[in-house]
Amino acid sequence: METRAGDPGAFARFDLSRVDSPAFVVDAAKLRANCAVLADVRDRAGIRMLAALKAFSMWSTADIISAALDGVCTSGLWEARLARAHYRGEIATYCAAYKPGDLPEIAAISDHVIFNSPGQIARFRPILDAQGGCDIGLRINPLHAEGEVPRYDPAAPHSRLGFPVDQLRLEHLDGVSGLHVHTLCEQDFPPLARTWEALRGHLAPWFGQLDWLNFGGGHHITRADYQRDDLVAFLREVQRETGCALYLEPGEAVALDAGILVGTILDSHWNGMKIAITDISATCHMPDVIEAPYRPAMLGECGDGAGEGLHDAQRLTRLGGPSCLAGDVIGDYRLPVPAEPGQRFAFLDQAHYSMVKTTTFNGVPLPSIWLWDSDDDSLRCIKRFGWESFRDRLS
């Protein structure tokens, strides 16, 4: 999987020795800039824009996000609690399957509760009615795949996510205010337009019945080359055609290129090529490197790390984490520093998804979290994790 993010921006002048290692460093100024772009699209299109906490839930930056956007979307009870405690605006909650014991509180916290199937709505109707008739949505599967990686594509064959749109009938919309569709991942505008073309005929019979449509996330709106004018025109036309209020739920776009992950080389040796062990672990700190897989961009990498000579062992260093997992390999890089113990380096675009997916597998320490503001160069440590973070997950 290739990502078109990885712009160093202000991090090109950040002194990596100012923070712990490993450490996530998030630039508040870049967050504000991203949110301003999203708010501009929202205002020009006349829609509602929610930030997806599943991608970026650094709640110490909630004021930045809440000041610009209309609220957040959450994926279950714990994220909904976080949203209610720290963020302002609407809360839309979607979960592939709710537990009966969680749903009363979720319904009380959320402005919209979105279900994965009509069967769940029918089964939980007494709970929902007891909460005073909260706004109910249904996630649909457009049966139109646009994803680059099948395991990340909600419209892949036999996907568990969303109710197949070709099975949708009038009775399934009883008490349902709106429909949710999310099938994109790090994509620009044309895949959204094609998805809508695949959906329009199925949904047209209910345009007058629905209050809202939610096009989910995966829209790289804040990327420099995203077709934002086309998106605005599209959203305005869909509202005119359907009579529905529209929602977008960007996650990555909120924190795109807003954070780095700083690490240190711990040891190095030769095994057919240069090998370096770092205090950053792919499996613990950047699991998408293994799951997607993808190669994260490196701050200041020499030359084009993905281009000519990538497999030239004399020029490349293979970076791996400190865990005992043989597959804990980040990738091969032309390092901007010597491949020697004590040297600092950083991976770009690590604010979204990396931060929310970290684990303490093998007792590998969690990265500390820092907030930098490139506008005034202020820097503060938001949190350090002691060994208790590892201990308290066990019993």
Q: Which of 221, 255, 289 is the last residue of a domain?
A: 255
Among 291, 178, 198, residue whose Cα is nearest residue 244: 178
119: domain CATH number is: 3.20.20.10
Coil, strand or helix at 90: strand
Please list the rounded mean pLDDT of every run of 10 residues in the chain (395 residues).
Answer: 78 98 98 98 98 98 98 98 98 97 96 97 92 89 90 91 96 96 94 97 94 97 97 98 97 97 98 97 96 93 59 80 97 97 98 96 97 98 96 91
Q: How many structural domains compose the chain?
A: 2
pLDDT digits (tens, 9 = 90+) for 150-197: 888 999 999 999 999 999 999 999 999 999 999 999 999 999 999 999
Specify whether 156 is located in the same domain as 285.
Answer: no
Q: What are the tens digits of pLDDT across the range 104-159? A: 999 999 999 999 999 999 999 999 988 876 899 999 999 999 988 888 899 999 99
> Are 225 and 284 in a shared domain?
no
- Provide the β-strand partners of residue 333: 317
Looking only at the bridges linking them, the beta strands covering 245-248 and 212-214 are parallel
Distance from C-alpha of 182 to C-alpha of 248, rounded to nearest angstrom: 9
Range of the domain at 182: 46-255
Burial class (CB in 10 A: 0-12, 13-18, 19+), 99: exposed
Does residue 101 share a domain with residue 157?
Answer: yes
Has residue 30 been placed in a domain? Answer: no
Last residue of a domain, one of 198, 223, 255: 255
Q: Which of 203, 224, 255 is the last residue of a domain?
A: 255
Residue 352 and residue 56 in contact, taking contact as beta carbons nearer than 8 Å: yes
Are residues 310 and 381 both part of a single domain?
yes
Q: What is the CATH number of the domain that holds 366?
A: 2.40.37.10
Indicate if 335 and 281 belong to the same structural domain. yes
Q: What are all long-range contacts of 361-366, with beta carbons under 8 Å and residues at least 24 apart? A: 361/281, 361/283, 361/284, 361/323, 361/325, 362/281, 362/284, 362/322, 362/323, 362/324, 362/325, 363/387, 363/390, 364/281, 364/284, 364/285, 364/321, 364/322, 364/323, 365/22, 365/279, 365/390, 366/284, 366/285
Query: Are 248 and 105 found together in one domain?
Result: yes
Query: Between the CA of residue 328 and those of 155, 255, 264, 350, what are the distances in Å?
Result: 29, 25, 16, 17
Residue 20: phi, psi to the nearest 5? Answer: -65, 175
User: Is the same domain home to 63 and 78?
Assistant: yes
Q: Counting every residue, how long is the chain?
A: 395
